[in-house]
Structure 1
Amino acid sequence: MLAHMGYGTRSEIKRLVKQGAVQVGGKTVKDSGLQVDPELETITVDGERVEFREFVYLMLNKPQGVISATEDSRDRTVVDLLADEYVHFEPFPVGRLDKDTEGLLLLTNDGKLAHNLLSPRKHVPKTYFAEVDGSVGEADAVAFEKGVELDDGYVTMPAKLVILKEGDPAAGRVSKIELTITEGKFHQVKRMFQAVGKKVVYLKRIAMGPLLLDEHLSVGQYRELTEDELKQLKGREND
């Protein structure tokens, strides 16, 4: 339990026990292998109460240049952005964002929640903000609503395109849009715009299911989910 909570390696914890630093129910522990129920018993280390929890849920505003993985031999990963107090829980990204894509990424060690959010059968909506090179208009919105054919012949499920600002290629102005999709094909947003002759030049995920990217999180920053956010996610999990 103490290793899970980041109090050290097993050998370091054995040393703490030998030093008399660990107490269970107010009594000093002499056996580092003692089995405990953290929900029923009070455990302290150096007088500090251990607040046990099994899972962590983190909202990250992913920066560009960082990959959605737990480890990589060449590039920095999203886990590399986390403090040690979270790393020892061994969280992983729920789904992925491309290396050059910013925005909302959930990290957790709750495999059941992750599986349900990623299950193709659940059709969890994901909303992106994008800047697109080219004039995005109502014809594109209609095409996306029907589903467009990607470069490999796959026809996408209906998607909702909201045009925030129509670009002007002649003036060098990009279109600004929001797009909500309910599937997660490889490079899907970029490939959908390619299908209608446009190019995404900036992409940021702003929502996943009921979870909205916290506007106060700067790029590269993260925080734990609130109880309400977690409740909404788990409600979605049971849909």
Structure 2
Amino acid sequence: MRLEKYLVNCGVGSRKDIKKIVEEGRVKINGLVTLNFGLWIEEDRDDITLDNRHLEFKTLRYYILYKTKGYITAVKDDRHPTIMELLPGWLETKDLFPVGRLDKDTEGLLLFTNDGDTNYKMTHPDKKISKKYYVELDKPISEGDIKDLEKGVDIGTHICLPAKVQYIEQNKIFLTIQEGKYHQVKKMVGSIKNKVSYLKRVKFGNLTLEDMKPGELREIFLKDIIL
């Protein structure tokens, strides 16, 4: 493996960052400084350090993206732009996949990983991982509507589990659900004779968008994810 790719997978930074770091003589291979970021290394045998600190190659990786509108949740599509196009060029994306999905017109938190076990635990219905959305509605929501959502509404093909609703103002709420049916939030709102005008996922399990900007990607660790 090239040293550059190894350092990317260790979370050191972008390829531009890595080139500068290596050229500054801060990286050592088996105790010897190298200025060649394209050098081939044996990740299982060579000892790689940055500023004399041992680096651990990350076989499993985790990132959260603040998804923006206009992108479908797919790794590849011939007709529409995909969320993979939102990922920075320095990121090694070959084995990454999104956990769950967000609609093309929905913004918010999307988890990426190459860890199949975590994907299963975060998306399997039996795990009941919560998902919190900020929802703007076409019409004001009533107390009765809120009670209906909190009891569990019928969306035609499925009776939803009870949801949690936090009232913000007449046509704005936070809606927390523990399922992930196709277009579920939109269908739930439709069941109370209303319509979603804006939708953003702000929390997924223990992960949040706190201090993130639209389009931003952030590396996280397995310990950050409550399963």
Alignment-derived partner of residue 223 in structure 2:
231
**Corresponding residue to 1:53 among 49, 53, 58:** 58
Amino acid at match of 2:136: E
Q: Which has the larger radius of gyration?
A: 1
Alignment of 1:21-60 (within 5 A): 25=30, 37-38=44-45, 41-43=46-48, 52-60=57-65
In 1, Cα distance between the equivalents of 2:56 and 2:79? 36
Give the count of matched residue pairs. 198
In 2, Cα distance between the equivalents of 1:160 and 1:72? 34
Alignment-derived partner of residue 90 in structure 1:
95
In 2, Cα distance between the equivalents of 1:132 and 1:59? 26
1:24 deviates by 6.3
Residues 86 and 190 (structure 1), Cα distance of their counterparts in 2 relative to 1, 3 Å cut: same
In 1, Cα distance between the equivalents of 2:140 and 2:129? 28
Contact 2:43-2:57 at 8 Å conserved across structures: no
Unaligned runs of 5+ in 1: 8-22, 167-174
Percent of pairs with identical residues: 40
Amino acid at match of 2:197: V
TM-score norm. by structure 2 comes to: 0.77
In 1, Cα distance between the equivalents of 2:109 and 2:41? 41
Amino acid at match of 1:159: A
Residues 193 and 36 (structure 1), Cα distance of their counterparts in 2 relative to 1, 3 Å cut: closer
TM-score norm. by structure 1 comes to: 0.74
Alignment-derived partner of residue 208 in structure 2:
212
**Corresponding residue to 2:166 among 158, 162, 167:** 162
Contact 2:149-2:163 at 8 Å conserved across structures: yes
Amino acid at match of 2:206: P
In 1, Cα distance between the equivalents of 2:5 and 2:213? 27
**Corresponding residue to 1:114 among 119, 137, 160:** 119
Unaligned runs of 5+ in 2: 8-27
